[in-house]
Amino acid sequence: MTSAALRLEARGITKSFPGVRAVANVDLALMPGEIHALVGENGSGKSTLCMVFSGIYRPDSGIIFIDGAMVRPENPRHAQALGISMMYQESNLVPELTVAQNVALGHDPFLTRQAALVESVAAILRRLKFDVDPRMKAATLGGAQMQMVEIAKALYTRSKVIIMDEPTAALSASEVQRLHDVIREIAASGIAIIYISHALEEALALADRVTVLRDGEVAACRSTSELCREDLVHLMVGQHVEIVQRPTTRAKRGAELVRTMGLCWRDRVRDASFSLYAGEIVGLAGLIGSGRTEVASLLAGINRPDGGQIFVRSREVDLRSPRDALGHGIAILTENRKEEGLFLPLSVAHNLTIGILSRLRGIMGLLSPAREREEARAIADRLRLSTPSLQIDVRSLSGGNQQKLLIGRMLVREPDILIFDEPTKGVDVGAIAEIHHLIRELASRGKGILVISSYLPEIMALSDRILVMRGGEIVQDIDAADASTDAVISRAFV
Amino acid sequence: MNWPGLRRVDKFLLKNQLAVLAVLAFVFFALVSPFFASAFNLQNLAREGAELGIVCVGATLVLLLGRLDISVGAVLGMSALIVILGCKAFALPLPLLVVVVLLFGAGIGAINGVLSSVVGIPSFIATLISLVILRGVMQWASSTEIMRTANSAVSTDHVFLAIGNGVFAGIPTSVLVLAVLFAATILVLRFTRIGTSIYALGGNFQAALRAGLRVTALEIGVFAFAGFCSALAGIFLASRLDSVTYQTGQYLEFYVLIAVILGGTSIAGGVGGVWGTLLGVAFIGILNNGMVMLTVDRDYQDVVIAAFLVFALVGDQYLNRRGETARRWQLADLWTPRQAKRR
Amino acid sequence: MEGLSTPAELARAARFQRARGARALFAWAGRNALTLIFLALCILLSATLPTFLTLGNWTIILQSSAIIGVMGFGLSFVMISGSFDLSFAATMLLAGAVSARIIMLDDQATVLALLAGPLAGAVVGVLNGTVVVVTGISPLLATIATAMLIRAFAVLYVMQTWMEIPRSAASFLWLGQGSLRGIPISIFLLAGVAAASFILLNRTGFGRMLYAVGASPRAARVAGLRDEAVRIGAFMICGACAGIAGVINVSSVGGLSAVFNISYLYDVITVVVVGGVSFFGGVGTVYGVVLGLLIIGVLKNAMIILNTPYYAQSMVGGVFLLLAIGLDSWLRKRRAG
């Protein structure tokens, strides 16, 4: 296959940051019209690789060819000019500008010719079979429609390669299907597509070929017809990670701690009903956007349900704030620890002891530094938190240690009901096993635990019972022993 | 009893609340104060309003970017001072003076812009520093002999006086200039790439960066424009009052803020425009003039203004659904609360 | 695709944990920059200005810094909690006026007058805080508005056209004009407020929560902290400090005028920012504010000794503020990647 026939070819791309090699010697080749999935765990290098393509990073070594010509994207604007455009995870639209203006952002002529612009954008939208008036403000669009506008942006700049980063993260199942149809449509016109996704089944269904990245290197590059999901998982994970195997004997299930009935919240949660018992680990599975984090937020008091009821120990409660929830013994480890968990500029000790301030009192009711050191050290030791000193900035801890810190903080008030949302996200391998072990141990002590994870093997290994969510509802409630991965996956999709 | 037209009138009133408020205020003051509706006062009102309006046009663009400029009053005062000094103390040629002053305003604005965009200082502080330095210079200059003589002498240069007090086809000159400035700004905002870029920068900074917009140049340019507008208004003021004190232009920034925010431009950026600002200026101008006509105590005036500011802020908050201290930009003015997006 | 394992962040973590040798020295210098600057300034000035190191001169420095310093401590509470308060100068005026009224009505009611000032300030602070926290408006603009309201209230309802403290109110006047063993009382007050601030910030649960709420209000809420109460509490303390400053002012001047002095606002902000309290919340120490106060105080003192004109003083102050904030913002930009 000559280089000239390939739409995009990358050879030997390497990108390092101080202390870390993000992408190592990666080769990638795309034919015109090929849909190529890019999968890998957190930290495997997929986003870095794509940022190299889209001009945000300059590679340390390696060459990139577009249609046979060597290129070096200097910045996002330059990459666009070369024909590479990227659709980011977070919204890239300006709410107050119209669809047409958003599509043409940065590429409009100095004097905007309204009519001509609207017409050319409308033509693109028609091609995508996307029925929206280009003169409407972007703020009025829904999530799926915004994706369409982003695609229109890529088409407007006459991209040859479009990189899509988790495009279906916030979409419903039917919207995902529509998006896939559109993607196939534009691929048919010769545009090559790189499709990054955590939803492996989706990627396999859509793409022609798939590249699996692991630790910055290419673990495999195959045609999707040759692989099934388990193969992908195996390739992504390799030999390194050991998921703690489920113990053969199950812990005894105790009293009912929490029961929810018909919970609904905005349009993210519709009629969620389930129970949680003492001593069991319930895994909440589902695609991103199915409402799992939102359900957790309702239980933890972060949001208030619009409808439905929550019963804690058979008594109905109204959780108006996380403080309320903590009062009832419900604690949560949120999925974005940097925004909702850690106090970043503060020290490790400070972060640890913030929940037990009353225990640190010394003379005249004032806090005693000695007591603080003791308590902080005690918690840190119990969790095997490895840090040179307790006074350092919490920012300098590794992901695993940060999670352990937050778990420690969670535990000081001795809650009975624990919610873990993506507990091992961005955590190094060694700490993952420790965290799983910790969760197990907590369950065996009689706590009721809810675990949310997008990584199905984790759910399968940890849970005694699995709830599958789809579109804001709980569609399945099965014993883990009876569940198979396929069954769970299929229930998570349409 | 259902009069069909009533519904429509109600909707019209709701949509154009600010215009209604302005009209109501006008009518109120006209009824209550004998001097308010006199031709003399109305002309005065028009001139004051025009000066405020000119400054507000520039300030609107700054707010659209999501930034704050509290040095507008100081720039206006300083410009007026330079004009008075240049014209009455040193008898410099007027055209030269005008150009120098306008360049001065733009220059201060550009410095503000550089501090805000390149160095990354929150725009509130950057413009606060400009304000203090300029006010310091003004205090010193106003206390010198030259300034005292310049202020006490009545100007004999007719051209100079005509700037602020003249009439062209029955309309005060400052109003005309405002109209031209306003029209030019509208054209740029709606019909050029610059306008779209300003809204983009204010609305979604990341998107603007990724689209390759020249973020730094734009910010510096907008601040420079705001400085230019303040200087322009300063020229008119100097000519109209024929004197300057070290307090000239003090607290102007509050009035400007209220007018612009009431007019629908959000302090978070990306929303609003100059049309609304015009209405806001009209309202604030009428309010201010009316209160002075009624010889309302200066401090009660402050109360009214402050109340309106709070009202405008709460309204802005509610309309744009901002949460409390949420995500902060890397360069941004961190005083404006922004909605943290939950997934 | 988020998490600590993105390359830039892992790199940063690695960097932190490898500080040794030259890096360690730089880090130490960075942490103690303020002290070093202060010492350097003192050495420079004592070498070039003969009168600099005298006790009399230092008394003047500290005394003129007392009011600014007290308000600075108050403001730092609010800033650490993540908000801002521009109305403290107006609160100072109001509290001073309340205090003056009382002492003018009864020139022996010293204790009442002395307590009424900070009390009034605290009440104003609570109101301020409630408005800002409950409505969620930008604290900067909201406190600009409340400043106008407070000042108007003070002028309209509390002050009289001519306010002068009668000579007979000796104990009241002693506070601002008297001294103990040659050291003015106001300096003791400054030290007292500094000590109280230190204890509040570092040795109470409230102080801990303040830092947490300022660092991340969302995380604070999730952790179950009463973030709204804490933030309002910070405003209350700021108001009380402004009240104390107002009382000192009235007592030392012997009267009160309604002229609004923007230089107070400016000086206090400069002191606090130079002292390392961050606008972004969660960062700041009492020691830093003390150093900021000393540095600015020394600078001003030097300029007065050198007879520099008023406008030049504000320019120098402006440059310092610029440098301090510029450095803070630039470092923040670098850290953000």
| DSSP label of B339 | P
- Write the DSSP symbol of residue A363: G
Interface size between A and B, measured as CB pairs under 8 A: 74
Residue A354 near residue A361, CB atoms below 8 Å = no
Contact C7 A22 (CB under 8 A): yes
The neighbouring-strand residues paired with A265 are: A269
Q: What is the distance between the alpha carbons of residues A479 and B12, in angstroms, rounded to a whole number?
A: 61
Put simply, the answer to whether B317 touches C135 (Cβ < 8 Å) is yes
Q: Is C333 on the interface with B (CB under 8 A)?
A: yes
Which DSSP string do the residues of A365-413 spell out, in sequence order? G-B-HHHHHHHHHHHHHHTT---S-TTSBGGGS-HHHHHHHHHHHHHHT
Give the pLDDT mean for B266-272.
Answer: 79
**C15 contacts on A by Cβ (under 8 Å):** 18-19
Which part of chain A is CATH 3.40.50.300?
3-237, 241-329+415-494
Which residue of C131, C266, C333 is in closest CB contact with B120?
C333
Contact call for residues A134 and A108 (beta carbons, < 8 A): no
Contact B317 C142 (CB under 8 A): no
Cα dist. A146→A155, A167, C144 in Å? 14, 10, 39
Interchain CB distance below 8 Å, B196 and A108: yes
- Residue B5 has a pLDDT of 65
Subunits touching B (CB < 8 Å, at least 3 pairs)?
Answer: A, C
Question: In this complex, which of A165, A346, A392 lies closest to C215 when CB atoms are compared?
Answer: A346
User: Could you say which of C11, C204, C282 has the minimum Cβ distance to residue A345?
Assistant: C282
Whether pLDDT at B295 is above 70: yes
Q: How many CB atoms lie within 10 A of CB A452?
A: 25
Pick from B219, B220, B235, B231: nearest CA to B74: B231
Give the separation between CA B141 and CA B80, rounded to whole angstroms.
12
Query: What is the pLDDT at residue A418?
Result: 94
Contact A470, A455 (CB under 8 A): no
Residue A131 CB: number of other CB atoms within 10 A?
A: 9
* Identity of the amino acid at B251: Y
Chain A residues inside the 8 Å CB shell of C5: 42-43, 399, 426-428
Contact call for residues C141 and B335 (beta carbons, < 8 A): yes
- Of A441, C248, C90, A137, nearest to B200 (Cα)? A137
Report how many Cβ contacts below 8 Å link chain A to chain C: 134
Q: At what angle do helices C22-31 and C33-48 cross, to 10 degrees?
A: 70
Do the strands A69-71 and A209-214 form a parallel or antiparallel pair, or are they unpaired? Answer: unpaired
Alpha helices by DSSP H, listed for A128-254, are 143-156, 173-188, 200-206, 229-237
Contact residues on chain C for B137, CB-CB shorter than 8 A: 311
Who among B192, B194, B270 is closest to A95 (CB)? B270
Please, which residues 131-170 of chain B have a Cβ atom closer than 8 Å to chain C?
132-133, 135-137, 139-140
* Alpha-carbon gap, residue B69 to B150, rounded angstroms: 30
Rg (chain C; Cα; Å): 21
User: What is the CATH topology of the domain spanning A3-237?
Assistant: Rossmann fold (3.40.50)
How many residues comprise chain C?
A: 337
Residue type, A316: E
Total Cβ atoms within 10 A of residue C327 = 14
Residues 6 or more apart in contact with residue C44 via CB below 8 angstroms? none
Q: Is there a contact between B265 and B272 (Cβ–Cβ < 8 Å)?
A: yes
Segments in chain C below pLDDT 70:
1-31, 161-162, 258-262, 311, 329-337
Angstrom distance (rounded) from CA A484 to CA C34? 62
CA distance C66 to C249: 9
Q: Does this model's pTM top 0.90?
A: no
Q: What is the pLDDT of residue B342?
A: 25
Q: Tell me the H-state helices in chain C.
A: 7-17, 22-31, 33-48, 55-80, 88-105, 110-135, 139-153, 170-177, 185-203, 205-215, 217-222, 227-253, 262-274, 286-305, 310-335
Nearest residue, CB atoms, C84 vs list B133, B322, B335: B335
- List chains touching C (3+ CB pairs under 8 A): A, B
Least confident of B187-201, B263-277, B325-339: B325-339
Instruction: Kindly state the tokens that stand for B275.
Output: 């049309």
Can you tell me which residue has the tokens 């601002």?
C176
CA-CA-CA-CA torsion sign (A317, A323, A328, A333): positive
Q: Which of A283, A285, A287 is nearest to A200 (CA)?
A: A287
Q: Largest Cα–Cα distance of chain A, in whole Å? A: 81
Of C144, C152, C329, the CB nearest to B300: C152
Q: Which CATH class is domain A241-329+415-494?
A: alpha beta
CB within 8 Å: A346 and C212: yes
A42, A395, A402 member nearest C1 (Cβ): A42
Say whether residue B4 is in contact with chain A using an 8 A CB cutoff: no
Q: Spell out the residues 6+ positions from residue B49 whose beta carbon is closer than 8 angstroms to its own.
A: B175, B281, B282, B285, B286, B289
Q: Which helix (H) or strand (E) is A87 found in, with range?
A: strand A84-87
pLDDT at B331: 22
**Tokens of residue A435, six digits:** 């965290």
Reported ipTM: the value is: 0.77
Residue numbers in C near B328 (CB within 8 A): 280
Q: Which residues of A touch C13 (CB under 8 A)?
A: 395-398
Q: From chain A, pick out residues whose CB is under 8 angstroms from the CB of C6.
A: 43, 47
Q: Does B330 reach chain C within 8 Å, measured CB to CB?
A: yes
Chains that touch A (3 or more CB pairs under 8 A): B, C
Contact assignment for A110 to B206 by CB distance below 8 Å: no
Residue A328 identity (one-letter amino acid):
H
Amino acid C158 reads V
> What residues of chain A score a pLDDT lower than 50?
240-242, 244, 494
Domain ranges of chain C: 53-261
Tell which residue, B41, B316, A42, has the closest CA to residue C136.
B316
B325: nearest CB among C82, C309, C318: C82
Residue C154's pLDDT is 86
- Which SS3 state, helix, strand or coil, does residue A242 take? coil
Contact B200 A80 (CB under 8 A): no
Q: Which of residues 67-126 of C touch A (CB under 8 A)?
A: none
Selected for mutation to probe chain C from A367, A389, A417 (highest C CB count within 10 Å) is A367
Residue C280's identity, in one-letter code, is F
The structure tokens listed for C238 are 């700021």
Following DSSP, what letter does each residue of A280-318 receive, concatenated? -EEEEEE-TTSSHHHHHHHHTTSS--SEEEEEETTEEE-
Instruction: Report yes or no: A403 and A423 within 8 Å, Cβ to Cβ.
Output: yes
**Which of chain A's residues have a Cβ under 8 Å away from the Cβ of C11?**
17-20
Rounded to whole angstroms, the Cα distance separating A249 from A355 reads 35
Q: Rounded to the nearest 5 degrees, what angle is found at the Cα of A146, between the Cα atoms of A33 and A132?
A: 95
pLDDT in tens, B37-77: 888 888 888 888 999 999 999 999 999 998 999 999 999 99
Given CB atoms, is B267 within the 8 Å cutoff of chain C? Answer: yes
Q: Is the dihedral of CA C111, C114, C115, C120 positive or negative?
A: positive
Q: By the 8 A CB rule, do A8 and A28 touch?
A: yes
Residue B75: per-residue pLDDT: 95
Beta-sheet pairing, A269-277 with A84-87:
unpaired
- Using an 8 Å Cβ cutoff, are C117 and C322 in contact? no
Rounded-to-integer distance, Cα C276 and Cα A460, Å: 49
Contact status of B208 with chain A (Cβ, < 8 Å):
yes
Segment of A16-20, A145-149, B114-118, B165-169 carrying the highest mean pLDDT: B114-118
Q: Supply the DSSP string of A417-442, one letter for each residue.
A: EEEEESTTTT--HHHHHHHHHHHHHH
Query: Is the Cβ–Cβ distance between C67 and C244 less than 8 Å?
Result: no
